[in-house]
Amino acid sequence: MKSFTFILSYVRKHRFGYAAGILTLFVVDFANLYIPKLTGTITDGLTARTMDWDGVVSCLIAIFVLGALLALGRFLWRYFLFGASRSIEREIRGDMFAHLEEMSVEYFNERGTGDLMTRFTSDLNAIRMAIGPAVICMFDACVMTVMVIVQMMYYVNISLTLLAVVPMFLICVGEIYYGKIMHRRFLDRQEAVSDLTDFVQESFSGVRVIKAFVRERAEFYAFAKQNKRTMDQTLRVVRLQAVIMPLLDVIIGLSILVTLIYGGYLALVGDITLGRFVAFNQYVGMLIWPMIACGDAINMFSQGAASIRRIREILDEKPEIRDTDDVKEVSDIRGEITFSHLTFLHRGHSEPTLKDISLHVPAGTTLAIIGRTGNGKSTLVNLLLHLYNTKPGMLFIDGKDINTIPLKTLREHIAYVPQDNFLFSDTLKSNIAFGTEGEDMDAIIRATRAACIHESIVSFPDGYETIVGERGVTLSGGQKQRSSIARALIRNAPILILDDALSAVDTDTEEHILKNLKKNRAGKTTILIAHRISTIQNADVILVLEDGEAREIGNHESLMKTGGIYRDMFEKQQLEAKREGLSS
């Protein structure tokens, strides 16, 4: 019932298209009824010699006019019904994409990309078939059947008609049972396709790792296993169709044979005329399509219902991160940040990632965060971006609880360079201008100069029009990082977050970028996450995280005097640098 209500909400928007299509389909089916009648009239007229050539021509002209009407009608119902179903498919796909954009990062951590892609393609196609061709099949199976049977009873013979209709009841009962089995099997098949798509997507994304570890053969065997599972589930659907469709043909064939024998007998004894016997056989032929259409409709409805269930699983999910009733409009953000006993526990974890962190960061401050891997550095900045929810009273921007700031406003005032440096498969120019309106080349060049990537870009054959490939695969690690930094700098946001964004550049380039940041971001808040102390030693405030706790807070000089974790890390890195210098 929920599936019906879900799809009905979309069908209502196109009710005029559906109404026009069904009305046209009715006209086509109604016009079809007269062709056998005209054929029978010609046959009887010629047999009894009661029709001259003019009468034959008149009937032939009527058949031609009906044929033209049928051709036009078939075009129109396809235009209206198929057009409406395609529009609904587009709308559902758009709603799914918009809904997924609102979902939190935790949702995507738990969902496979391949599974989502299958729902966007295969499942939506099954829904389109259920609300387009299946509607036509069901209409013909019901309305045309009734009209043909009434015409057969009225124009030919009641007993002969009843004999022809008996197999239809057997078909209807069998197809209801068939639909229930098909629903379950198609659902299993779609889940297998999703798993296969997930596997292929992940394998292609990690192809460099596969080649580096010489795991091509192992991956192929793993793929073969997933591929066979998908084939087995698909064959379960196909086998059911392979049994039902020939069985349907057998029943239809027997129905035709019985009506031919009995109808021929009635014609021989004179209960019906030869022309009416010919017309009756044409009517029986017209009933074949509704019988087949009924099976097709149940098949498509069953598959569509299974796919609607899978689509609703996505649309019924509620985004964890969203604007609440406490949100208040904010005109501007200056960049003042306050952590007040901030504690955060990831979903599914037993221990908090961040524990009781308190720190005030005035606007215009450069805050550095350092610590070992897995100590919550990235989680801290993700909370600033409100990618995860925090409890009220723990995180403030400009003195306002982050939960009361609209998400759009908050993120518009924060520029972010993530660890993975994701670049889209587009030109460098488009990637760098991604967060802005339009592509102002002067602003792009200023940003790339500040990120020390301009010279590298202009050395490429296509310059700023260079296509970087999927996830920026054609660029080196340092070039991707600097391009991501340029993308963030062009926004000139009051808060800039660099999450380990200088790890792949050499120390000289790093020094130039840091100098440019200090010059260009005067009066704006900058947050640096790094593992190298050389990256953050000139920061105004340095936060040392250990086991999710703020173990040390201060600047470089004060932390060195303290002689704690920070000083220990500094000395180890200095020693490693000396060893590398000696070995080289």
CATH code for the domain in which residue 521 is found:
3.40.50.300
* Domain presence at residue 564: yes
Q: What is the pLDDT along the chain (584 residues), one digit of tens a residue?
A: 666 788 888 888 888 988 898 888 888 877 777 776 667 677 667 666 666 677 777 777 877 877 788 888 888 888 888 889 999 999 999 999 988 888 887 788 777 777 888 888 888 988 888 888 888 878 777 777 777 677 667 666 676 666 666 666 666 666 667 767 777 888 888 888 888 888 887 777 677 667 666 777 888 888 888 888 888 888 888 888 777 777 777 777 777 777 777 777 777 777 766 666 666 666 676 666 677 677 777 778 888 888 888 888 888 888 888 877 778 888 788 889 999 999 988 877 778 888 989 999 999 899 999 887 777 888 888 889 888 888 889 999 988 999 888 888 888 888 888 887 788 878 888 888 887 777 788 888 888 888 888 888 888 888 888 888 776 677 888 888 888 888 888 888 899 998 888 877 888 888 888 888 888 888 899 999 888 888 888 889 999 888 888 888 888 888 888 888 888 888 888 887 677 665 55
- 75-127 pLDDT, tens digit per residue, is 888 888 888 999 999 999 999 998 888 888 778 877 777 788 888 888 898 88
Please indicate, yes or no, whether residues 465 and 571 belong to a single structural domain of this protein.
no
Q: Long-range contacts for 168-171 (Cβ within 8 Å, ≥24 apart)?
A: 168/255, 168/287, 168/291, 170/251, 171/248, 171/251, 171/291, 171/294, 171/295
Domain boundary among 435, 453, 479: 479
Q: Give me the sheet containing 337-344, strands edge to edge.
A: 400-401, 395-397, 337-344, 354-361, 549-554, 541-546, 366-371, 525-530, 495-499, 414-417
* Domain presence at residue 148: yes
Domain count, the chain: 3
Q: Contact, 527 vs 497, CB < 8 A?
A: yes
This prediction's pTM: 0.74
Please indicate, yes or no, whether residues 380 and 517 belong to a single structural domain of this protein.
yes
Alpha-carbon distance of 50 to 57, in angstroms, equals 14
Please indicate, yes or no, whether residues 215 and 301 belong to a single structural domain of this protein.
yes
Residue keyed to tokens 């000083």: 567
Please indicate, yes or no, whether residues 209 and 296 belong to a single structural domain of this protein.
yes
Alpha-carbon distance of 121 to 123, in angstroms, equals 6
Domain boundary among 454, 479, 504: 479
Q: Contact, 540 vs 361, CB < 8 A?
A: no
Please indicate, yes or no, whether residues 395 and 263 belong to a single structural domain of this protein.
no
Please indicate, yes or no, whether residues 527 and 435 belong to a single structural domain of this protein.
no
Question: Hey, what amino acid is at 408?
Answer: K
* Domain presence at residue 96: yes
* Domain presence at residue 49: no
Alpha-carbon distance of 416 to 375, in angstroms, equals 20
Q: Contact, 323 vs 407, CB < 8 A?
A: yes
| Residue 216 φ/ψ region, left for φ over 0, alpha for ψ in the -120 to 50 degree band, beta for the rest | alpha
* Domain presence at residue 303: yes
Alpha-carbon distance of 564 to 546, in angstroms, equals 12
| DSSP secondary structure of 51-86 | --HHHHHHHHHHHHHHHHHHHHHHHHHIIIIIHHHH
Q: Contact, 17 vs 247, CB < 8 A?
A: no
Please give the radius of gyration of the chain, using alpha carbons only, rounded to the nearest integer.
36
Alpha-carbon distance of 155 to 417, in angstroms, equals 79
Please indicate, yes or no, whether residues 474 and 507 belong to a single structural domain of this protein.
no
Please indicate, yes or no, whether residues 353 and 454 belong to a single structural domain of this protein.
no
3-state SS track over 437-470: CCCCHHHHHHHHHHCCCHHHHHHCCCHHHCECCH
Which residue range(s) make up the domain with 565? 337-413+493-583
Residue keyed to tokens 């940003």: 447
φ and ψ of 357, to 5 deg: -95, 125
Q: Contact, 451 vs 489, CB < 8 A?
A: yes
Please indicate, yes or no, whether residues 169 and 104 belong to a single structural domain of this protein.
yes
CATH code for the domain in which residue 170 is found:
1.20.1560.10
- 495-542 pLDDT, tens digit per residue, is 999 888 887 788 888 888 888 888 888 889 999 988 888 888 888 999
* Domain presence at residue 258: yes
For the chain, counts of helices (H) and of strands (E)? 24, 10
Domain boundary among 479, 501, 524: 479
Question: Hey, what amino acid is at 483?
Answer: S
Please indicate, yes or no, whether residues 239 and 380 belong to a single structural domain of this protein.
no
Please indicate, yes or no, whether residues 448 and 525 belong to a single structural domain of this protein.
no
* Domain presence at residue 360: yes
Please indicate, yes or no, whether residues 305 and 447 belong to a single structural domain of this protein.
no
* Domain presence at residue 15: no
- 413-431 pLDDT, tens digit per residue, is 888 888 877 888 788 888 8
φ and ψ of 136, to 5 deg: -65, -45
For the record, the structure tokens of 66 come out as 């009906």
